[in-house]
Structure 1
Amino acid sequence: MIEKTTLENGIRIVTENVPAVHSVTIGIWVESGSRHENQTQGGISHFVEHLLFKGTNRRSALEIAREIDSVGGVLNAFTSREYCCFYAKVLARHLPLAIDLLADSLQSSVFDLDEIEKERRVILQEISMVEDTPDDVVHDLFSQAFWENHPLGRPVLGSRESVKNMCRDDFLDHLKTCFVGGNILVCAAGDLVHQKVVDLIAGAFSQIVPGAKKQILSPPDYRPSLRFNHRDLEQVHICLGTRALPQNHPNRFSAYVLNTILGGSMSSRLFQTVREEQGLAYSIYSYLNSHSDAGALVLYTATSTENAPLVVRLMLKEMHRFRSEPVSRAELKACKDQLKGQLLLSLESTDNRMTRLSKNEIYLGRQPSLKQVLGEFEKVTVESIQRLAQFLFQDDYLNLQLLGPIDEKQFPLLDLTLG
């Protein structure tokens, strides 16, 4: 059973009671991420996420860690382009402790200057780690080119320059601006009673003042490009993508099916063609990167320098195939069964249920039932997939990023086109 309550200060609370489980996962979602930042403070949401577990007026960082460990729980956080999430998973009887730890961290962190400098060094190392991992950095290069000069194109971690220049007052101003009632969503799933959760949250987060939800001012433009990013690597890392649908688009279920058939699993067309039939790559996949007002469908793989042009052509060929010929009904049925099975299996986890509650509230403003979601998958047709492919897969939106030992002279594919 899913229930929702909004507190006087604007905090929304959505819970789901899950029978026959012993755990509760609770998340505090702050609807402010990297796309809400200005360029000079890029990465501040992520920096604050790190600092909020580094000591409060009541607890040191070590005491926070020991308290959650002492009950066998998990306490963690992550930042994306549109939100930050601070979450805990515990046995149901320890939910009051989990809420107290989260509330203490989000409202009473001291932002000690020594801890700030330590965490600044940690984040700079995190940036270096990404830069040293080509199968990570190529996705950032894709976003930067695809959404050029837009906040969605900037990395969530920020830049070295922005991270080095942030100070304690910046973090306090960020909390004051973003951690307000209308911008906070609390979701919990597991062995719980809704009203008890509401009472605990109302008491623990009483310091949160009312305030308006962060608004997204401008959707991005889609920018086609072909870029060669030379680096001394063993392989060429390839990101090829095009526009996709936003999170709340009515045709999103067709997009889920299209992506799964294209590169969403080991039975997908890309995996079978590039790896199993041709032996050209170890890993190849596609994914949807969807936001509140925009989206991208991205294909990724890594291969040898000499095989890179052929692999790109095979990727383009598979995309063109969706436009020119309908998928088979057998392929469509198998994909629907796969997606429905994955959804049902995910619901065995209170973590996944909590995340599902949150994203539905953030992007849809409602909680579709499981029956409704399964029904939407059943509505996807061969024709709807082909129409969507013809809408998405157009030359004007194609973006290709190549990272590795390759440059324009080595690469014979001069025109990026679906034919």
Structure 2
Amino acid sequence: MPGSHTATVGVWIDAGSRYETCRNNGAAHFLEHMAFKGTPRRTQHNLEIEIENMGGHLNAYTSREQTVYFAKVFDKDVHRAMDILADILLNSKLDANAINRERDVILREMKEVNRHEEELVLDHLHATAYSTSGLGRTILGPEGNICSLTKDDLRTYIDTHYLAPSMVVAGAGGIDHGELCELAHKYFGGVRVELDEEQRRGDAVCLDEGKFVGGDVRIHFESDAMAHVALAYEGSSWTSEYAYPLMLLQTLIGNYDRAAGKNATSSRLCQDVADGEFANSISTFNTCYKDTGLFGMYAVTEREKVADLMACVTHNVARMAECVTDEDVERAKVSLKATMLMGLDGNTNVCEDIGRQLLTYGRRLTPAEIFLRIEELSADDVRAAAHGVFHDKDHAMAAVGGIEGLPSYEWIRNNSY
């Protein structure tokens, strides 16, 4: 990115919680914590001082399919950032005392997550939608695993998943591509390419089919005046023919927040929710994975309005495939492209886009190529995607709070098409 004096460099690893087994679920996230606790070359304190003196920022995150470590630095410090990233990824000490201390940190993090209703509901949604596969597991893992994972467990996870074909080094900003390639060779050139024979015989590698089975989980709190509900259908994988039509459909359905008021261009669903005051907020989500996805809505409402909200949602879902017009699609195209461009604002977002796309597609699709694919879509494409997702399909639902008025699974199933 010409003219930029800062850069983001990072490592995207094709491994997350869905690659884990029931026994080691939580290992990827635990390693994210341990990466910053020191290596033979750098103590935790020295690592913090080195980053601070560079004016840099070092961070990491774990998702269901990816683990990411990245650094934001001045352009002159890219080589130092790459040295640090390689050191913490490949040479983490995994000190037993540090592991034990970190257990309490992760358990506190779990409590914070469980107090955030949306994250709690979406975790339950995955658990019921993918109850027979790895996508149903949480990223943090169960409390029992957090308390029992050992240094050997974590080391085995690194040896199994931190392999060259599963890793992408990406950079954006004030950085030369040739220089980045040289640094990648220097610091990551020794990463193993494949598992040894013993590892291949074992059960360490676990990537089962992301099979959507649907389901229903309800956690009722008598004292809670609000209900948090997520309703989802099987969406698309990143490479599905429905991937881009569903992005447009998500834009078409949109979001509603009572505090912000009704938008004149909102979908019929959002307008009906607003007119009937059925919810404080409702948002549409479209989550893609390698081989499956979740498309649905998340709503927050008062307990006495749950039944009315679900009647409104199912009524609109039933007619979604028929009511999309050419004008709707053209308007959604403009909005979707604007959202995508705003999502590429800044070195870190561009670096994220590169890393994720290389893991997903094997190459980076430029914004121009993506926009061309969007422009080629018609209302028929969006209607076909809506029909494929909603018509006579099982759903997954997770609800927490004052939900005694929530209709049965069968009622929702029978009234959604």
Q: TM-score w.r.t. structure 2 length? A: 0.90
Cα distance in 2 for partners of 1:388, 1:271 equals 17
Cα distance in 1 for partners of 2:86, 2:218 equals 46
**Aligned positions of 1:330-341 closer than 5 A:** 330-341=327-338
Counterparts in 2 of 1:206 and 1:222: CA distance versus 1, 3 Å: closer
Q: What stretches of structure 2 of length at least 5 have no aligned partner?
A: 257-262
Q: Is the 8 A contact 2:57 2:71 kept in 1?
A: yes
**Aligned positions of 1:121-132 closer than 5 A:** 121-132=104-115
Cα distance in 2 for partners of 1:360, 1:340 equals 17
Q: Which of 309, 312, 315 is the equivalent residue of 2:310?
A: 312
Counterparts in 2 of 1:348 and 1:132: CA distance versus 1, 3 Å: closer
Q: Post-superposition shift, 1:207?
A: 4.0
Aligned residue number for residue 220 of structure 2: 230
Q: Post-superposition shift, 1:243?
A: 0.6
Aligned residue number for residue 363 of structure 1: 360
Cα distance in 1 for partners of 2:246, 2:128 equals 23
Cα distance in 2 for partners of 1:132, 1:346 equals 28
Letter in 1 for 2:219: N
Q: Post-superposition shift, 1:272?
A: 3.4
Q: Which of 137, 140, 148 is the equivalent residue of 1:157?
A: 140
Cα distance in 2 for partners of 1:201, 1:264 equals 42
Cα distance in 2 for partners of 1:285, 1:394 equals 21
Q: When the two structures are aligned, how many residues end up with a matched partner?
A: 399
Supply the RMSD in Å over aligned alpha carbons.
2.1
Aligned residue number for residue 238 of structure 2: 247
Aligned residue number for residue 152 of structure 2: 169
Aligned residue number for residue 218 of structure 1: 208
Cα distance in 1 for partners of 2:332, 2:72 equals 32
Letter in 2 for 1:391: G
Aligned residue number for residue 2 of structure 2: 19
- Asked if 1:387 corresponds to 2:374, the answer is no
Q: Post-superposition shift, 1:195?
A: 1.6
Q: Is the 8 A contact 1:395 1:416 kept in 2?
A: no
**Aligned positions of 1:9-408 closer than 5 A:** 18-211=1-194, 217-231=207-221, 232-263=223-254, 268-269=266-267, 272-273=270-271, 276-325=274-323, 327-407=324-404
Cα distance in 1 for partners of 2:289, 2:363 equals 17
Cα distance in 2 for partners of 1:268, 1:148 equals 34
Q: Is the 8 A contact 1:127 1:157 kept in 2?
A: yes
Deviates more, 1:334-343 or 1:62-71: 62-71
Letter in 2 for 1:111: L
Cα distance in 1 for partners of 2:345, 2:117 equals 34
Identity %: 25
Cα distance in 2 for partners of 1:270, 1:158 equals 39
Counterparts in 2 of 1:217 and 1:140: CA distance versus 1, 3 Å: closer
Q: TM-score w.r.t. structure 1 length? A: 0.90
Summarize deviations over 1:162-216 as a string: whole Å, max 9, x none: 1111011111111111112222111111111112111122222244222269977
Q: Is the 8 A contact 2:134 2:207 kept in 1?
A: no
Aligned residue number for residue 3 of structure 1: none
Cα distance in 1 for partners of 2:171, 2:212 equals 36
Cα distance in 2 for partners of 1:175, 1:24 equals 27
Cα distance in 1 for partners of 2:172, 2:239 equals 22
Q: Is the 8 A contact 1:240 1:398 kept in 2?
A: yes
SS at match of 1:177: helix
Letter in 2 for 1:220: G
Q: Post-superposition shift, 1:362?
A: 1.2
Letter in 2 for 1:371: A
Q: Is the 8 A contact 1:286 1:300 kept in 2?
A: yes
SS at match of 1:301: strand
Q: Is the 8 A contact 2:64 2:135 kept in 1?
A: yes
Q: Is the 8 A contact 1:25 1:189 kept in 2?
A: yes
SS at match of 1:63: helix
Counterparts in 2 of 1:63 and 1:234: CA distance versus 1, 3 Å: farther
Cα distance in 2 for partners of 1:309, 1:386 equals 27
Q: Post-superposition shift, 1:20?
A: 2.4
Letter in 1 for 2:291: D
